[in-house]
Every structure is written in C-alpha cells, then in structure tokens.
Structure 1
Amino acid sequence: MDNMSFLPEDYLERRAARRTNILCLTLFGIVMVGLVGAYVVSGRHDAEVRELHRQVNLEFEEAARRIEQLEQLQQQKKQMIHKAQVTGVLLERVPRSLLMAELINHMPATLSLTEMDLETRELRTTTRPRTAIEREQQRLASRSKANDMFSQIEVPETEMTVNLVGVAPTDVEVARFMTALGRHNMFYDVNLLFSEQTTISEQRMRQFRIELKVNQDVDFDAMEPTLVSRELKQNPMGSRLQIDESGELVAPGANVAPKWGQP
C-alpha cells in the first residue's frame, strides 16, 4: 500500500514516456551539438591544413624557379668562359711589343741580337691504349654531350717558343742575359743551344743561340715593361772608340767625333 496512487495508470505511463522522450531528446541534442562542434573544428583544421599546403606549394614553386634561374646562369657562365677561351686562342695572347721590350731591356749593353724566331705550336698529349670499358664509357659520355653545342669545340693548349741568335764580346754577357731572362716571370725553360767563336768587323765575338719558352698565363694587361738605362760609355765592338753621353762616337783625345769604324 506504500506505492498506492490515486492517479490513473495510463496517466502515469504517459508521464513516464514523456520524461523518457525529453531525456532522449536532451541526449540527442547534446550529441548533435558535439557532432556539429567537431565538424566545425575539423573543417577549420582542414582549412588551415589546405592553406599550409598551398603555402608550401608556392614555396616549392619559387624554389624551383630560382633553381632553374641558377642553372640558366651556370649554363650562361660556362658558355661565356668557353667563348672567352676560344677567343683567347684566336686572339694574340702575348703582345709582340711587350715581348720585344722585355727581351731588349734584359740584354746586357754589349750584347746584340741578330735573329729572332717565334714559334707557336699546339700541344698534343699522348694517351695510352684504352680498354673496352674505357671506350664504352667514352662513347656514353660523348652521347650525353651530343646536344651540347659548346662541348664539341675543343680549345687546344699552345706553347710559344722563342729562338734568339746574337753576338756578345764574351760568354759572360750571354750568361748574364740568360740569368736575367730566367728570373723574369714571363719566360721559363731558358736553354743555351750553342756558343761559338765568330769574327764581325775584324772583332772576335761570341755567337750564340738561346731557346726559351713564353709563359702565357701571365696577366700581360697588368704588366709594365721593364725600364732600364742604356748609356754606353764605350763602344761594344772595340776598345779604341768611345761613346759619350749624347750617343756620339769620340776617340780618346780627339776633338771631332770620327765616323763609325774609323780609328
């Protein structure tokens, strides 16, 4: 009798069903609010991810464009260097005037040159016979460079040799001349081919031939010719005549300068 109620049973059942429905609707609303919130948060996160992906793609595109520009600059640099090398082969590397000036300015005052021969030749390197593997590697390398128009042009290395023939009173002047040329950075491999006795204008002289090579790696544009003073006090061809400071020939004790070759 404790649970005795005067309300109708169908009323109690409807009220219990209504409470159940309200509780279910409340729980359903809470779940829907959670789902909507999760969808909104997920959508916002997806938007952030898409924006970050777009920025990364833009950075990659910018980096690829810069790399392409760098490769183009590198290719242009190689082409310019190659053109400069080809132009250097076609143009004269060593100015003839500078070469003559350095040879003359390093000569002793009593030494004279009678002949000069300048020879430029291409250096050819001798290679050993290649194996079949090396020939195949060379063929593949040549095929990979077939589309490169500049790789087909080879710039040969050259060597400049100067042959000098001259006369001097003694071998001492010849040795001084060779020493001066050997100390100059423009010349190297200075060799004396021969030195022999000869007679010129009834004067005994030493006739010599010197062979030397020209260093083509020197910066000739920045090189200044060597300046020397050439004031002769005595005739290099004999001891009877003298040369004054003005360059005139005078005999000892004479008031009038005689002609060249007269006692």
Structure 2
Amino acid sequence: MPTSNFLPEDYVSQRAEHRSNTIGLALFIVIMVAVVAAFLVTNQQWNTVKQEQQRINVAYSDAARQIETLNEMESQKRQILERAEVTAALVERVPRSILLAELINRMPPPMSLMSVELHSIRIKTPPPQKAKKSEGATTVLSIKDKANQRIPTRSEEDDARAVEVPKYTVAMTIIGFAPTDVHVSDYLRGLTDCSLFQAIQLKYSRETSVGDQLLRKFEIDMELNPNADAKGFEPLKLRRGLKGGIDPTPINPLPISPEMTGVKLGDETPSDGPHGSEEVKQ
C-alpha cells in the first residue's frame, strides 16, 4: 500500500542537505583532530630524538677527549720505555768482576790465562724500506680524496721519530797456556756449563815451549749471553787450597811471564760500548 507524504518537497530536500553537511563537518573535524594529534605526537618524538642525539654527541665528545688523553699517556709510556731500553743497553748487566771470577773459577788449577779481551759489536738494524713508485707513474688526487686523507696522530708521529735502541754483541777472546789438551777440554766444558757465555769455540790449541817446558797454547772465542743478568745469576764458588780453615801457600801457576809471550798485561782498550771497544755489525 503506497504511503503518502504530506511534507513539502523543498523541506525534505533542505533537510537531507542539512544532514549531509552535518555529517561532512563532523568527518572534517575528526580528520583535523587526528592530523593535529599526529603532528603533536610526531613533534614530541622528534624532540626526544634530538635530546638523545645531543646526549650522544656529548658522550662522543667526552670519549674523544678521553681517547686523546689515553693516546698521550701511551705516547709518554712508549717514550719512557724507549729511554729505559736505551739506558739498559748502555749499562753493563754483568759486571766484569763477575766475568773474570767465572773465567778463573772454572779454570783447572795448573792452567794460566795470559789475556782476556772484550769488545762490543754493535748490531745495526737496517731502516724499513719504503715502497718504490713505478717510474713515470703519477698520482692524481681529487678534492674528495684530499679531504678524506687522514691526518697522522701524535702517537704515529712519535713512532716516526722513535730513537733506535742500540744493540750490542759482546765478544770475548781468551788466550792461555795449559799442560795438556785434557785441561783445555775441561776448561771448555766448564765454560759451556756457565749460562753467561755462548757460542764457545776453540780457535786453536798448539804445542809451544816456554823455557824448558812444553805447554799447550790455546785461544778461545765466545760471546756473552745477551739475556744474561747478574741479578739472577749464582756464581761458582770455590775454596782454592783452603783446608781446615788454614790458608796455605797459594798454588803457583805455570811459570810464564809476559815477556815470554809478548803480551802486555794491564793495557786497556778505549771503551765506546758497554764492554770494551765497539764495532758495527750489519
């Protein structure tokens, strides 16, 4: 059954248009509120990000200052260690009195030493070789490459100016006389047992006459152990000729005088290194 509408058509159309405008305005307000809320939330997040960035920048600045301080301390430590190494290289870690005591205490009683020579051989390390550029090759750096070139730090500059620590090899030459080769062999075995010496070699042992006696003249070459240190070394202790606390007449060495061998005792060679004369060894 058809329904009858007694309202005017103009009123109905105006009412529908009013309803549409109301709905559209409500939707517009909702959208604007959502946009404003999103803007406020985003702005708050950006503020938080900026504050975090500032905090991180401050932390990085503090860390950079601490790293710079640490690098300076490392550079000072390296300089102190280099100075200590230079000083240690120039100081005798094994006094000559201990060397002579070991040479004498490990010598068989009927043996005599005529000369003991010490001379330092400086080991010169070659400088590091730089990479050679090929002939005719040119290097062109762009502005970006020049900007990205790293400036050397203070520690790297200190390494470039580092002082070379001198290293020495102390060589020894011993010349003496013994009754037989057995005594020379015993002496070589005693020197080998001593931790102060290394590279012990018998250069020669030949028969020679001194007055009315036939003796063996020998020469021994050896080196001082570079790791030897008198602080942790226990020298060989002997009581020569002591019986019952009585000191008898000392044992007389072989009847050899300096005039017989042509060797002058008591002469000293000018000392340039830590032990005796200095030579340079590549």
Same fold, TM exceeding 0.5? yes
Contact 2:241–2:248, Cα closer than 8 Å, also in 1: no
Contact 2:180–2:215, Cα closer than 8 Å, also in 1: yes
Contact 2:93–2:229, Cα closer than 8 Å, also in 1: no
| Structure 1 residues 197-208: aligned runs within 5 Å | 197-199=208-210, 204-208=214-218
Residues in 1 aligned to 2:204 and 2:156: alpha-carbon distance in whole angstroms: 51
In structure 1, the partner of 2:227 is: 217
SS in 2 for 1:133: coil
Is 2:5 the counterpart of 1:4?
yes
Normalising by structure 2, we get a TM-score of 0.64
Point out the structure with max Rg over C-alpha: 1
Is 2:117 the counterpart of 1:117?
yes
Equivalent pairs, count:
230
Q: Does the C-alpha gap of structure 1 residues 101 and 159 become closer, same or farther in structure 2, counting only changes over 3 Å?
A: same
In structure 2, the partner of 1:154 is: 164
Contact 2:122–2:166, Cα closer than 8 Å, also in 1: yes
| Structure 1 residues 1-263: aligned runs within 5 Å | 2=3, 4-6=5-7, 9=10, 15-124=15-124, 133=132, 148=158, 151=161, 153-195=163-205, 196-199=207-210, 204-231=214-241, 246-249=246-249
**1:30 positional shift:** 1.0
Residues in 2 aligned to 1:134 and 1:178: alpha-carbon distance in whole angstroms: 54
Residues in 2 aligned to 1:60 and 1:146: alpha-carbon distance in whole angstroms: 22
Code of the aligned partner of 1:61: S
Contact 2:86–2:166, Cα closer than 8 Å, also in 1: no
SS in 2 for 1:221: helix
Residues in 2 aligned to 1:14 and 1:131: alpha-carbon distance in whole angstroms: 95
Normalising by structure 1, we get a TM-score of 0.68
**1:12 positional shift:** 5.0
Q: Which runs of 5+ in 2 are unaligned?
A: 136-151, 256-282
Q: Deviations over 1:37-69 (max 9, x none)?
A: 212221232233324433443443344344434
Structure number with greater CO (CA < 8 Å, separation at least 6) is 2
Q: Which runs of 5+ in 1 are unaligned?
A: 137-143, 234-243, 251-260
**1:154 positional shift:** 2.8
Residues in 2 aligned to 1:19 and 1:191: alpha-carbon distance in whole angstroms: 120
Residues in 2 aligned to 1:59 and 1:7: alpha-carbon distance in whole angstroms: 77
